[in-house]
Amino acid sequence: MKYSADEIRAALQNNELTTYYQPQYDALTSQLKSAEALVRWIKPDGTVISPFFFIPVAEESDLIMDIDWYVTELVCKTLEKQNMMPQFPISINFSRKHIQEDNFAERLTALVDKYELPHSLIEVEITESAMVGEEERILDWIVSIRNAGFTVAIDDFGSGLSSLQFVKDIPADVLKIDKSLLSHNCEDEKERIVLESIFNFAHRLHMKTVAEGVETKEQLGFLRTCDCNRIQGYLFAKPMPEEDYLSLCMVHKAVEEPTDILQLQSPASAVNLLLEAVFRRYPLVIFTNLTRNTFYMMAYQNFTTTSCPSTGIFDELIVHGTSSMHPDDREAFATTFDRKNLIARHSEGAQEIRLVTRQLGDDGVYRKVETTDYFVKSSYSEDVIAITLCENLPDE
Ligand code: C2E
Ligand code: CA
Ligand code: CA
C-alpha cells in the first residue's frame, strides 16, 4: 500500500507520526551505547505503518524535510525525558534534500538548544547514495554540522555506488556498514575479505563503525574479529516504541556490572591491549617491508622533535630519522639501517640489528635511544619484513 503526499501530510499534522528506537550495542561488551530513531506512522486504529510505505513518496517533495525535523524534535523530547536518567546518543536519518538546506547546522543547533541538550547526543545520518552528485556541497555541509558539535554518520555504506576515493575525503565520525554486505553466517572467504578491508579502512581513517542488520551469532562473532565498534540488529533488539526504549536505558545502566574484558577479547582488540604494554617501553614501533621499501609506523607520543608521516617509503624514513640525531651518530645510523645492508644481514642469517644513537629532545638535550630491528616472517609472502622497536635509555 502506497500513500499519497496529502495523506502523509495529514498524518504529520495529526501527530500520527512517531519514532521507534533501535538500540546499538558495543560489539565486545554488549553494553547499550546508542540508538537510531526510525519513523513510524501509527494509524488511529493502532496499525503501525513502516517507513517503506511513505518515506519514498515524502522524498519526492519537501514533505520529507518536515518529517525529518519533526522526528528530530521527537528525539529531543525523548532525550529530555531522560534528563535525570542515563542518556545515550541517538542518530537521526536525514534525507539528501537537507544537503541543499541553508543553515542546516544552525537550525539543528537552535532546536537542540531549545531542549538544553548536549550536542554530542545527536548524530546525523546521511546515506551513502545521497552523496553521489553532491560532492561539492557535502563536505561543507558535514563540516558545519561537526563544527556545531554534532556527529555525522554515513549510512548504508557498501549498498551503493559511492567510491572509496570519495568516502576517504568525507570527514564523518561513523561509518554504518550496510546489512547487504553480511550474509547469514559470514562464511564466504571473499565476503570476509571485503568486510575486513572495509573495517580496516574505516579505522585507519579514524571512523567508528556500526554494523547494521546483525541477526546471527555467527555474524557477531565475525564482526568482533574485525574490531567493529557497534552492533545494530535483530540479534540484540528490534526498533521499539519510546516507552520500551526508555525502560531499556534504565535497566541497562542498572545492570552495568564489571565484565571480564579478557573473556570478550577479539584478536584485534587483544593486539591493541598488547600494544599499550609495548608502548610503555617502546614509544615507537615501525613495521617495514624491506623488499618493497615501505613502512608503517605506530608512535605512542611525539617521539622525535620533527614530525614524521605514519606510512611511506622506508629509504626516506631513514634520511628523515637522522635529522634530529647527534651529528656524530648519523653515519653509523645511515649505514646500519640502510635497506640493502639490512637485507644482506638478513640473508646471512641475522635475527636482529641493534644500534644506540643520541636523539635531540624538545628541551635541546641529547638522550640515548636504542633502535632494534627484528626480522620477522609473514606467512603471506616471501618479502623481508622487519619490526623496529625504539627505546629511550636512562641518562647516565
Ligand atoms: P535505515 O536507515 O537503513 O534503517 C535500518 C532499517 O533496518 C530499519 O528499517 C530497521 O528496522 C531495519 N533493521 C534493523 N535491524 C535489522 C535486522 O537485524 N534485520 C533486518 N532485516 N532489518 C533490520 P525501518 O525502520 O523500516 O526503516 C527503513 C528505512 O526508512 C530506513 O533505513 C531509513 O532509510 C528510512 N527512515 C526511517 N526513519 C526515517 C526518518 O525519520 N527520516 C528519513 N529521511 N528516513 C527514515
Ligand atoms: Ca539509518
Ligand atoms: Ca542503514
**Burial group, residue 215, by CB count within 10 angstroms (0-12, 13-18, 19+):** middle
* Ligand 2 geometric centre to CA of 154 (Å): 9
The mean pLDDT value for 57-71 works out to: 97
Instruction: Name the more confident of 60 and 306.
Output: 60
pLDDT at residue 304, as a whole number: 56
Instruction: Name the more confident of 365 and 93.
Output: 93
pLDDT at residue 299, as a whole number: 78
Percentage of the chain surpassing pLDDT 70?
A: 96
Q: Taking each helix axis as running N to C, give the angle between helix 63-81 and helix 5-13, from 0 to 180 degrees, rounded to the nearest 10.
A: 30
Provide CATH 3.20.20.450 ranges for the chain: 5-268
| Rounded Cα–Cα distance for residues 284 and 289 (Å) | 17
pLDDT per residue as tens digits for the range 191-204: 899 999 999 989 88
Choosing from 55, 91, 108, 159 the residue with most ligand 1 atoms within 8 A of its CB, the one to mutate for a pocket test is 55
Q: Which CATH architecture has domain 5-268?
A: Alpha-Beta Barrel (3.20)
Residues paired with residue 295 on neighbouring β-strands, in sequence order: 288, 312
| Rounded Cα–Cα distance for residues 353 and 336 (Å) | 8
Residue 267: which pLDDT band, with cuts at 50, 70 and 90?
A: confident
Answer whether residue 4 shows pLDDT above 80: yes
| Rounded Cα–Cα distance for residues 47 and 43 (Å) | 5
Does the beta carbon of 180 lie inside 6 Å of ligand 1? no
Does the beta carbon of 93 lie inside 6 Å of ligand 1? yes
pLDDT at residue 318, as a whole number: 93
* Ligand 3 geometric centre to CA of 88 (Å): 19
Residue 302: which pLDDT band, with cuts at 50, 70 and 90?
A: low
pLDDT at residue 247, as a whole number: 94
Are 235 and 220 spatial neighbours (Cβ–Cβ below 8 Å)?
yes
Provide CATH 3.30.450.20 ranges for the chain: 282-392
Instruction: Name the more confident of 320 and 51.
Output: 51
Q: What is the dihedral of CA 41, 44, 48, 54, to 10 degrees?
A: -30
Residue nearest to atom 20 of ligand 1 (CA): 213
Which ligand has the nearest atom to the CA of 178?
3
Are 42 and 277 spatial neighbours (Cβ–Cβ below 8 Å)?
no
User: Chain-wide mean pLDDT for the chain?
Assistant: 91
Does the beta carbon of 288 lie inside 6 Å of ligand 1? no
pLDDT at residue 46, as a whole number: 96
pLDDT at residue 297, as a whole number: 86
Sheet-wide strand order for 366-376: 311-313, 294-299, 284-289, 385-392, 366-376, 352-360
Answer whether residue 163 shows pLDDT above 80: no
Answer whether residue 182 shows pLDDT above 70: yes
Does the beta carbon of 53 lie inside 6 Å of ligand 1? no
Q: Which residue's entry shows cell 547514495?
A: 129
CATH no. of 282-392? 3.30.450.20
Lowest-confidence region among 101-110, 134-143, 256-265: 256-265
pLDDT at residue 307, as a whole number: 65
Answer whether residue 104 shows pLDDT above 90: yes
* Ligand 1 geometric centre to CA of 158 (Å): 15
Residue 43: which pLDDT band, with cuts at 50, 70 and 90?
A: very high
- Predicted TM-score (pTM) of this structure: 0.79
